[in-house]
């Protein structure tokens, strides 16, 4: 069942469409390096296509009918979009579900300090990272500061050409004999991921003069006091734009492909439609990288509550109809898969690996150690998906996450499966997953978007 490289299947027209899609995706990546920024961009794109805020419709007492477009958000970090279909909602929805959080470093609530003439911010890493990958690279700070009066200050430092960047230092090779004897997981400790942000002292000060100058800059540029860190959400991410990769420009190197490549393709697939038979839904959620917890993660009742409100505006709400709507739905858990890397071939099983430029990837199951914590998709569901994709000439492949017992991972799939709906993981193959800079094939981005469209339509 060997799959062919899909670049050769496209004619000139499709190649132009492929490049246009990927150009838009790169712009999305640059504008959305955090979950808040990604949701903000999704709202802009959705409203341009006629989507309306669910809360506004509820306030006005408006009703929904086939063809209506609506979105719901929670805490500006997760969004659910619905295109009301011709069939009763009770028959179920076609759902695409991705996440818009990525591994990063979060600034602590009491972070600012000075040590021997250098000003630092303390951080706590978010999600699964190889800590040593985050030192000696340019970093940017994205996020919000909320003052006591409710004023929200948006902060982005390190992305413009003339912006300063911040960084984490590393021990020079000349003094690294002991460090290099450590395990890779211990070479850089989590408590050492401290961001260097300054070195210039305030004139005439003797104690913590560098820290004081940083506070002066924060006050001048952002009207921010040190106490405001308490109510801030500041995320430290790799600085710089998404870039075309390879001499042939066939790939994209960027921060946050996991899982914004599936979030973007799900979103743009959804926005292509003005009408569908079965109600279509796209979910872009938060906190997947730390277990889908909290109000904005998939384990919250946000999605269920949004569906209940939709049913109410359609005029058919009851607890039983809500349960039937969810149970009769079908979902693609839109998440990335580990791309086969020949340099590290020993970690993969070649026959059951995902390859760049061979199409969208299905992971029937995830988990680890005997499929622990996995959603294992139903064979009947996979059979029907094969029919849909083959009828629409969509290239796809199947994979699992590395060799048995080498590692593992999970997605939001098992959470939606709790409703009794059919769910399978399906997305794009990625190299360097969870590294500061990840890589995908442009062809896979294009093919996955087409596959998501075929799913929503059928």
H-helix segments, 100-236:
184-187, 209-222
| Residue showing tokens 């150690």 | 369
| Residue showing tokens 């995830």 | 366
Q: Rounded CA gap, 99 and 172, in Å? A: 37
Residue 308 to residues 89, 96, 184, 348, 427: CA-CA distances in angstroms?
A: 11, 18, 48, 43, 28
Q: Rounded CA gap, 70 and 60, in Å? A: 14
The pLDDT score that the predictor gives to residue 372 is 79
Beta-sheet pairing, 232-238 with 337-338: unpaired
| Residue showing tokens 């199947």 | 398
The pLDDT score that the predictor gives to residue 367 is 74
The pLDDT score that the predictor gives to residue 447 is 98
- Strand-pairing partners, residue 289, are none
**Two structure tokens written together for 309:** 């409100």
Q: What domains appear along the chain, each with residue ranges and CATH number?
A: 6-102+255-457 (3.40.630.10), 104-238 (2.30.250.10)
H or E segment and range at residue 124: strand 118-126
Q: Rounded CA gap, 276 and 164, in Å? A: 48
CB 223 within 8 A of CB 155: no
Helices 442-457 and 257-271: crossing angle, nearest 10°? 50
Instruction: Give the number of other Cβ atoms within 10 Å of residue 390's Cβ.
Output: 12
CA dihedral (80, 396, 29, 104) positive or negative: positive
The pLDDT score that the predictor gives to residue 410 is 82
Nearest partner of 24 among 42, 12, 40, judged by Cα: 42
The pLDDT score that the predictor gives to residue 76 is 98
**Two structure tokens written together for 239:** 């600085």
Give CA angle at 86 (83, 87), nearest 5°.
Answer: 110
Instruction: Give the number of other Cβ atoms within 10 Å of residue 90's Cβ.
Output: 17
Q: Rounded CA gap, 268 and 260, in Å? A: 12
List, in order, residues 6 or more apart from 114 with CB less than 8 Å away: 120, 208, 209, 210, 211
Each residue's pLDDT expressed in tens, for the chain with a length of 458 residues: 778 999 999 999 999 999 999 999 999 999 999 999 999 999 999 999 999 999 999 999 999 999 999 999 999 999 999 999 999 999 999 999 999 999 999 999 999 999 999 999 999 999 999 999 999 999 999 999 999 999 999 999 999 999 999 999 999 999 999 999 999 999 999 999 999 999 999 988 779 999 999 999 999 999 999 999 999 999 999 999 999 999 999 999 999 999 999 999 999 999 999 999 999 999 999 999 999 999 999 999 999 999 999 999 999 999 999 999 999 999 999 999 999 999 999 999 999 999 999 999 999 988 777 887 888 999 999 999 999 999 999 999 999 988 887 877 889 999 999 999 999 999 999 999 999 999 999 999 999 999 999 999 98
Task: Give Cα 178 distance to the centre of its chain.
Answer: 37
Q: What secondary structure letter does DSSP report for 9? A: G
Nearest partner of 425 among 357, 331, 348, 353, judged by Cα: 331
Q: Rounded CA gap, 223 and 210, in Å? A: 18
Report the b/e string of 263-288 with b at 16+ CB within 10 A: bbbbbbbbbebeebebbbbbbbbbbb
The pLDDT score that the predictor gives to residue 375 is 87
């Amino acid at each position: 069942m060997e799959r062919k490289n899909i670049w050769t299947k496209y004619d000139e027209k499709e190649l132009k469409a492929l490049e246009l899609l990927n150009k838009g995706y790169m712009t999305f990546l640059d504008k959305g390096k955090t979950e808040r920024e990604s949701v903000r961009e999704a709202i802009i794109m959705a409203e341009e296509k006629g989507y309306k805020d669910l809360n506004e419709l509820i306030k006005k007492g408006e009703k929904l009918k086939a063809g209506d477009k609506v979105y719901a958000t929670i805490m500006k970090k997760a969004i659910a979009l619905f295109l009301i279909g011709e069939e009763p909602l009770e028959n179920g929805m076609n759902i695409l579900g991705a996440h818009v959080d990525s591994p990063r470093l979060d600034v602590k609530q009491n972070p600012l300090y000075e040590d021997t003439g250098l000003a630092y911010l303390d951080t706590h890493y978010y999600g699964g990272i190889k800590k040593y990958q985050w030192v000696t690279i340019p970093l940017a700070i994205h996020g919000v500061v909320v003052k006591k009066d409710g004023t929200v200050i948006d902060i982005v430092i390190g992305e413009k050409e003339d912006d300063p960047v911040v960084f984490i230092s590393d021990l020079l090779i000349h003094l690294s004999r002991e460090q290099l004897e450590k395990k890779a997981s211990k070479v850089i400790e989590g408590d050492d991921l401290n961001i260097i942000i300054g070195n210039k002292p305030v004139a005439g000060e003797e104690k913590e003069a560098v820290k004081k100058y940083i506070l002066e800059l924060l006050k001048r540029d952002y009207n921010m006091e040190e106490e405001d860190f308490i109510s801030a959400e500041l995320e430290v991410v790799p600085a710089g734009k998404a870039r075309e990769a390879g001499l042939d420009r066939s790939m994209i190197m960027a921060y946050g492909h996991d899982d914004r490549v599936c979030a973007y393709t799900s979103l743009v697939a959804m926005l292509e439609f003005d009408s569908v038979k079965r109600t279509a839904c796209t979910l872009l959620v938060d906190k997947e990288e730390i277990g889908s917890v909290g109000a904005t993660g998939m384990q919250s009742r946000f999605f269920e509550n949004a569906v209940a409100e939709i049913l109410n505006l359609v005029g058919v709400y009851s607890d039983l109809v809500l349960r039937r709507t969810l149970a009769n739905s079908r979902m693609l858990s839109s998440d990335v898969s580990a791309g086969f890397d020949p340099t590290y071939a020993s970690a993969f099983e070649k026959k059951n690996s995902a390859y760049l430029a061979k199409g969208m990837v299905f992971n029937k199951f995830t988990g680890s150690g005997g499929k622990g914590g996995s959603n294992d998709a139903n064979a009947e569901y996979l059979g029907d998906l094969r029919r849909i994709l083959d009828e629409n000439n969509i290239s796809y492949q199947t994979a699992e996450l590395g060799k048995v017992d080498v590692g593992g991972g999970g997605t939001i799939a098992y959470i939606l499966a709790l409703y009794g709906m059919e769910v399978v993981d399906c997305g794009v193959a990625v190299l360097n997953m969870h590294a500061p800079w990840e890589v995908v094939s442009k062809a896979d981005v294009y093919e996955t978007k087409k596959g998501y469209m075929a799913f929503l339509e059928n």
